[in-house]
Structure 1
Amino acid sequence: MPSWPLSYALSLPLLSLRVSSHSLVHLHCSLRMLFRPILALVVLVASTAALDFNNSTWIWANDSVPTSGGGTTSAGARAFRRRFITHDRKTPTFTDILITADENFTFYVNHEKVGTGAYYPLAYAFRTPLLRSGENMFAVTATSGSKSSTPGGLLIAIQITYNDGSTDTVVSDTHWLALTSVPDGYQNLTFGDGSWPAAVDESPYANSAWGPITIPANPQTFIYTNATNWIWTNETSKPSVTALVGSRPFRLTWTAPSGQMVTSASILISSDDEYMFFINGNMVAGGYNYVVSQQLSTSLAPAAKVVFAVNATNYGGPAGFIAEIQITTTGAPGCTECGSSRSFVITDESWKWTSTVPAGFEVPGYDDSSWSPAVYVVAVTPAYWQFKPSQ
């Protein structure tokens, strides 16, 4: 395995740079002379909200069995509701939501879907203008894991900003109602919840068994979270021990929430041994020396979907590719109710791969329907690969 001291990252405007991956497959040696340590950071969309979970409580439905700092439950979905009445003589202008769940969630405001997420060590941030003066409804469908006895928890912080600059805060606590089933239409304000029990307080955030939650930041300062995995192909039974020599392409297509457009991305990435990273067909980074991860941020031409693609090369021994991406979206033109969001993408089995590097594989329109799911190799910690600080 090479251990060259130089690591590099390239970040250029995605509207102007276009490099063919096919022509780059054979340029591994020349890349080391071409690139220099360049790191371009672009500040993500600013938010006036300074939300955290310090006053929030992990909650669940009343089937939660208490454990130290948390709770266990059976597999399946639960419904949560929280009524909120705005201040008199004030008009809500936007609402910021910080949310995570073990294991995944869908969040609604006044029956409108705002966003979804998974991987509980990561929080998701959404901004929406859907609140109105008077009575409003926050609703969540949260789903626990697939085992018969599995952790289940929901953690929320919400900040409502009014037209005079003042704010209100709503957090996850026993003021929420929770049901062990998910009835049709429960997201509506007029839905009858008079028989619903209160949510169960599982643990304050600071003392919970779930530990610290990674919150999207502006600008993003990255560390790999425990949700992030090294991935590779299934060509050998243990890629963390030995993998075939050569280059392998990986792709992931990510779709923005309804009515929103992807506007920027922050990326933390590394590969054993070498990689070239593309967004929507444009090469934005390249690196080698697997012990050093690369961090970069870039603005994107607004689009409802974004394609991340990687040409990863193994020179012998173990092979793996790891990335964590924070995506920022804003409302599409003409959509006054679409809000914004900041979401995470990690390397997992949702990425696809194939055994050769075809021309144009990095382009959004490329057909990857016949590609195979990537294979989980090992979690970021503990792992064979040990990182130095990101460059």
Structure 2
Amino acid sequence: MALLFIVTLFSLLFAKLSLCASASGSNATDASLVAAASSSLVFTSSKWIWTASSTAGSTVSLRKDFTPPLGKSLIAAEIIITADSQLTFYVNGELVGSGTPPNRPRFAQRFCVDLLPSFNVFAATGIAPSTPSDGGLLATILLTYSDLTTDTILSDSSWRVHAGAPVGFQQLSFDDTAWPAATVVGSFGDAPWDEVNIPANPPVLTFDRAEWVWTDVVPASGTLPAGSRAFRRTFTPAPGQVPMSAQIIMAADNLYTLYVNGVQIDANRGFTVANNYIINFSPSTTEIVLAVLVTNNAASPAGLLLAMEVNMVPSGRANCTAGSFLLTDNGWLSTKAAIPAGWEQPGFDDSAWPPVVSEGAYPVAPWGTNTIAPPSAPVNV
């Protein structure tokens, strides 16, 4: 009889756990794991929020606190978020990430964070853009409880907003009761922000808003001298995020050699077909350094075009993927001087290299649209 009772008890417990997992849409089998890699977070119901008025270049702070229902205990959150412009994001006072790269509101970042069992605070700052009325923050936060059920926080007028960034505003103990409610300035899909690219696993990558770049101020004729130029860009993950893999699509006019963290990935020619690379990173990777040598074969137009999506895993967490984008833009560096030895290595000091200049956003002439090749075999770096 005792054996029958134990078997029956375990059967009931298993059924309850299965129902909880089903209700939350999670396939996790342990309460410490969150199946964010398979979730499909969207901004459909989220609102662009901001202060009622701001001036160009001013800082705007936003906060949202959350206490779970009675009997519920939080364990983690998966977050997609972006701002116009220059997002800095905190959870419970800890810096989670910033809005670069790239610093564009149409590219969300995706984070996975541990939460406190009860009270939690999500806080952010943004910088009002040159057209202050375009300022805004957009967020969707998927909360997971210890019973594997979920809840969702959307950016809306329940958030609080403040002009400036008071000391400690991101901390749990900060009193924001005097802050006014955030102003809803638009819905997802509204101009001027339009659609937003969201990191996914596997990535869905295009050249949307990537720019053709070069070292020189390009003359009106578009003709640049023959020769080789070196380009670099460093991506530093948000605190606690470990790069897992990246997809890179790229083209150059005329010939390029791509290095990732000092490892040569490929040497290729042409711009009508963009090449497609999958990079797998070692668990010890702390940053990603892209280095590209581009050669212009003759006096003619020249340029580099690249888009990358990085998938990351928070330290110590499984089944949860964070993500970010990187594009060719004026955040890249280059030099017109002689190319020094070791320029492609992660430890190279490029601080004296000036920023590149944009030749126009894809699909600007004379290059037009590209065909993106199927992914090549993954490369380990």
TM normalised by structure 1 equals 0.79
Instruction: Name the counterpart of 1:323.
Output: 306
Evaluate the alpha carbon distance shift between residue 108 and residue 177 of structure 1 in structure 2; reply closer, same or farther with a 3 A threshold: same
Shift of 1:369: 3.1
Shift of 1:378: 1.3
Establish whether residue 265 from structure 1 lines up as the match of residue 242 from structure 2: no
TM normalised by structure 2 equals 0.81
Q: Which residue identity is paired with 1:346?
A: L
Give the 5 Å matches for 1:73-88. Answer: 74-88=56-70
Question: Which of 181, 190, 210 in structure 1 is aligned with 2:164?
Answer: 181
Establish whether residue 242 from structure 1 lines up as the match of residue 223 from structure 2: yes
The answer to whether the Cα contact below 8 Å between 1:311 and 1:357 also exists between their aligned partners in 2 is no
How far, CA to CA, are the matches of 1:86 and 1:349 in structure 2? 43
The answer to whether the Cα contact below 8 Å between 1:82 and 1:137 also exists between their aligned partners in 2 is yes
How far, CA to CA, are the matches of 1:237 and 1:52 in structure 2? 39
Evaluate the alpha carbon distance shift between residue 74 and residue 371 of structure 1 in structure 2; reply closer, same or farther with a 3 A threshold: closer
The answer to whether the Cα contact below 8 Å between 1:277 and 1:285 also exists between their aligned partners in 2 is yes
Question: Which of 188, 202, 205 in structure 2 is aligned with 1:219?
Answer: 202
Give the 5 Å matches for 1:350-369. Answer: 350-355=331-336, 356-369=338-351
Q: Which moved more, 1:182-191 or 1:201-210?
A: 201-210
What is the SS of the residue equivalent to 2:198? coil
Instruction: Name the counterpart of 2:273.
Output: 292
Establish whether residue 137 from structure 1 lines up as the match of residue 126 from structure 2: no
Evaluate the alpha carbon distance shift between residue 240 and residue 267 of structure 1 in structure 2; reply closer, same or farther with a 3 A threshold: farther
Shift of 1:74: 3.4
How far, CA to CA, are the matches of 1:127 and 1:350 in structure 2? 26
How far, CA to CA, are the matches of 1:205 and 1:388 in structure 2? 28
Question: Which of 372, 380, 389 in structure 1 is aligned with 2:354?
Answer: 372
Establish whether residue 278 from structure 1 lines up as the match of residue 259 from structure 2: yes
Instruction: Name the counterpart of 1:58.
Output: 48
The answer to whether the Cα contact below 8 Å between 2:112 and 2:314 also exists between their aligned partners in 1 is no
The answer to whether the Cα contact below 8 Å between 1:232 and 1:375 also exists between their aligned partners in 2 is yes
Q: Which moved more, 1:191-200 or 1:340-349?
A: 340-349
Instruction: Name the counterpart of 2:177.
Output: 194
Establish whether residue 151 from structure 1 lines up as the match of residue 160 from structure 2: no
Q: Which moved more, 1:177-186 or 1:205-214?
A: 205-214
The answer to whether the Cα contact below 8 Å between 2:247 and 2:310 also exists between their aligned partners in 1 is yes
The answer to whether the Cα contact below 8 Å between 2:229 and 2:293 also exists between their aligned partners in 1 is yes
What is the SS of the residue equivalent to 1:47? helix
Establish whether residue 110 from structure 1 lines up as the match of residue 72 from structure 2: no
What is the SS of the residue equivalent to 2:141? strand
- CA RMSD between the two structures: 2.2
- Whichever of the two has the greater Rg, that structure is 2
Gaps of at least 5 residues in structure 1 are 1-44, 65-72
Q: Deviations over 1:102-153 (max 9, x none)?
A: 1121111111111111211111101111x112211111111122x3645201
What is the SS of the residue equivalent to 2:325? strand
How far, CA to CA, are the matches of 1:229 and 1:48 in structure 2? 31
How far, CA to CA, are the matches of 1:150 and 1:230 in structure 2? 28
What is the SS of the residue equivalent to 2:45? coil
The answer to whether the Cα contact below 8 Å between 2:271 and 2:370 also exists between their aligned partners in 1 is no
Instruction: Name the counterpart of 1:34.
Output: none
The answer to whether the Cα contact below 8 Å between 2:211 and 2:361 also exists between their aligned partners in 1 is yes
Q: Which residue identity is paired with 1:295?
A: N
The answer to whether the Cα contact below 8 Å between 1:274 and 1:313 also exists between their aligned partners in 2 is yes
How far, CA to CA, are the matches of 1:231 and 1:105 in structure 2? 24
Instruction: Name the counterpart of 1:91.
Output: 73
Q: Which residue identity is paired with 1:59?
A: I
Instruction: Name the counterpart of 1:28.
Output: none
Matched residues, number: 332
The answer to whether the Cα contact below 8 Å between 1:277 and 1:309 also exists between their aligned partners in 2 is yes
Shift of 1:164: 2.2
The answer to whether the Cα contact below 8 Å between 2:134 and 2:192 also exists between their aligned partners in 1 is no
Gaps of at least 5 residues in structure 2 are 1-34, 374-381
The answer to which structure, 1 or 2, has the higher relative contact order (CA under 8 A, 6+ apart) is 1
